[in-house]
Structure 1
Amino acid sequence: MLMNMAELNGRPVTPEALLTLALTNYGHFTSMRVDNQRVRGLDLHMERLVRDCRTVLGADLDPDMVRSYVRQAVGSVTGSFVVRVSVFDPAVEMAHPDRAKTPHVLVTVRPAADLPLPPLSVKSIRYERDVPTVKHAGLFGALHARRTALLDGYDDALFIGPDDCVSEGGTWNVGFIGEDGIVWPKADVLPGVTMALLQQLGQHHTAPLTLADAQGMHAAFATNTAIGVRPLSAIDDAPMATEHPALTQLRDAYLAIPGDLL
């Protein structure tokens, strides 16, 4: 299986071409789980790239071109893996991000874990991502929060915003199952593709949720393209149920989505 490869604008990438992304770290991306040449929410991933490119680079991005780069990188490989599409301008300088206007497309491939994944324990940490509605390359704060949680014996971090309400996780959206069904935090969060697909599967609503509200729910789950629907086993010192009929139904319905051909 093809793994751990990288192409920039459809060609093998050189270390020099990645220096700007490594040193300046100004760009955006989307990650897509590919299962036997199919991606759940493929159009939503392309819409995200186009939308974020306008925000980050002030430029239009051709989604058909992006798909062609992904198809070329993946080839005829079957099985499951994660494709990350990063968009940046190699000509940008630290002193002049305003000159970042020409999108280049970096496609990388890495292994994907088998689904479903075991539950996560999470530590609540006060943090809000910069420009939270954009899936940008600035991951320091999120990864530092994750590191803090890991060092304290948890699996990941759950962010608490400046309003003292739950928002999202380190690299995932969070949802809850309560008395009134499935609820998502009403907060400034990344509009996740997997979250959007799940919201199409039944009755969902959003509401502000304090940490105590979250800990009092029947169940909680993390979700993104790589992990699908993953239960939370604990929020801080509050245990959460990892088995619930609504949670099982949601996970199975998501896995049953056939996805779109690349």
Structure 2
Amino acid sequence: MATETSLYSAEINGGPASAAALTPLAFAGFAHFTAIQVRDRKIRGLDLHLTRLRNASLAFFGRALPDEELRARIRQAVDSGPADQSLTVTIYSPNGEFTTDSMDVQPEVLVRNGAPSNGPTGPLRLAVVEHERPLAAFKHVGESGKTYYLHQAVREGFDDAAFIDRRGHLSEATIWNLVFWDGEAVIWPRAEMLTGTMMGTVQRQLGRLGVPQRHEEITLDRLKEFSGAAVLNSWTPGIAVSAIGSTAIPQAKTFLDLLHRAHAAEPAVRV
């Protein structure tokens, strides 16, 4: 599994992130974030990242930082690092957690950058775990289950884990969205889950390319109907999935090429 290991810098509200300023955040579980890949100092789907941060801030803290302020913080990090890098933008309350002092408060922003990542090469075999992420619509911190189930999957001989909800519907994987292919249309799971920014960019570009898309409830029994499956996140628009649980899934090069073509069609913009 690819990981971001090299940290270039971290800034809080546009200034250096001191150890004293980072210590409360290091032990906090009430925060949300977005992960961004920067290439040639440009970002795809920037509007989706800003929308994600705005909506989550309103839900978590009752207030949101202006988009222009977030753009300025992201631009500062992009300009201070190499042309290709990973960015993580974390929004948190200066008043910590487990207290009403975190309500209706202006949040603060941590931006850190590190080495760029394109994710693993795949194909991936996914174990099946019954799990529903809390506050699934938000990308938030403090989710030890994602790493726990990844570790369990690897111990069982898989590469990662896919989640199935209490109704028996596949939703997402640990840090990935799931997507399927029936030979003609792209199928997205219908379940409580995070709508990833990569998922959003791929969906809108597939629409512009005229590719049929559907949202459907997907059970384990339905997996044999599909001619391809993939995972995607901010690292990549598509990595082939060769098995989910005990069900093998064909690797569909046409499908993977389509996902990558949709991603490439998304305009990359300077912040």
Structure 1 counterpart SS, 2:8: coil
Partner of 1:82: 86
Partner of 1:13: 17
| TM-superposed deviation, 1:227 | 2.3
User: How many angstroms apart in 2 are the aligned matches of 1:108 and 1:77?
Assistant: 10
| TM-superposed deviation, 1:172 | 1.3
Moved more, 213-222 or 82-91: 213-222
Moved more, 89-98 or 153-162: 89-98
Query: One-letter code of the match for 2:153?
Result: A
Q: In 2, are the aligned partners of 1:83 and 1:107 still within 8 Å (CA)?
A: yes
- Give deviations 1:143-162, integer Å, cap 9, x for gaps: 21112112212121100001
User: How many angstroms apart in 2 are the aligned matches of 1:203 and 1:192?
Assistant: 19
Partner of 2:47: 43
- Give deviations 1:175-226, integer Å, cap 9, x for gaps: 0001551100100110111111111113211010002213541110111111
The question of 1:138 aligning with 2:142 is answered yes
- Give deviations 1:220-247, integer Å, cap 9, x for gaps: 0111111221111221232222233133
For the structure 1 residues 215 and 159, does the alpha-carbon distance in structure 2 shift closer, same or farther, using more than 3 Å as the test? farther
The question of 1:210 aligning with 2:208 is answered no
Query: One-letter code of the match for 1:218?
Result: S
| TM-superposed deviation, 1:116 | 8.0
State TM-score, norm by structure 1.
0.92
| TM-superposed deviation, 1:168 | 0.4
User: How many angstroms apart in 1 are the aligned matches of 2:265 and 2:15?
Assistant: 34
The question of 1:4 aligning with 2:2 is answered no
| TM-superposed deviation, 1:24 | 2.6
User: How many angstroms apart in 2 are the aligned matches of 1:28 and 1:211?
Assistant: 31
What root-mean-square deviation, in Å, do the aligned CA atoms of Structure 1 and Structure 2 show?
A: 2.0
| TM-superposed deviation, 1:134 | 0.8
| TM-superposed deviation, 1:33 | 0.8
For the structure 1 residues 258 and 106, does the alpha-carbon distance in structure 2 shift closer, same or farther, using more than 3 Å as the test? same
**Identity score, percent:** 30
Q: In 2, are the aligned partners of 1:161 and 1:167 still within 8 Å (CA)?
A: yes
Structure 2 counterpart SS, 1:75: helix
Residue correspondence of structure 1 range 155-170 to structure 2 within 5 A = 155-170=159-174
Partner of 1:244: 253
Structure 1 counterpart SS, 2:146: helix
Query: One-letter code of the match for 1:22?
Result: A
Q: Tell me, which stretches of 5 or more residues in structure 1 are unaligned? A: none
Moved more, 24-33 or 232-241: 232-241
Q: In 2, are the aligned partners of 1:128 and 1:159 still within 8 Å (CA)?
A: yes
User: How many angstroms apart in 2 are the aligned matches of 1:99 and 1:256?
Assistant: 40
Query: One-letter code of the match for 1:157?
Result: A
Partner of 1:29: 33
User: How many angstroms apart in 1 are the aligned matches of 2:34 and 2:178?
Assistant: 18
User: How many angstroms apart in 1 are the aligned matches of 2:101 and 2:218?
Assistant: 36
Aligned residues: 261
State TM-score, norm by structure 2.
0.89
| TM-superposed deviation, 1:255 | 2.8
Q: In 2, are the aligned partners of 1:59 and 1:102 still within 8 Å (CA)?
A: yes
Query: One-letter code of the match for 1:112?
Result: P
The question of 1:235 aligning with 2:244 is answered yes
| TM-superposed deviation, 1:85 | 0.3
| TM-superposed deviation, 1:36 | 0.7
Q: In 2, are the aligned partners of 1:167 and 1:174 still within 8 Å (CA)?
A: yes
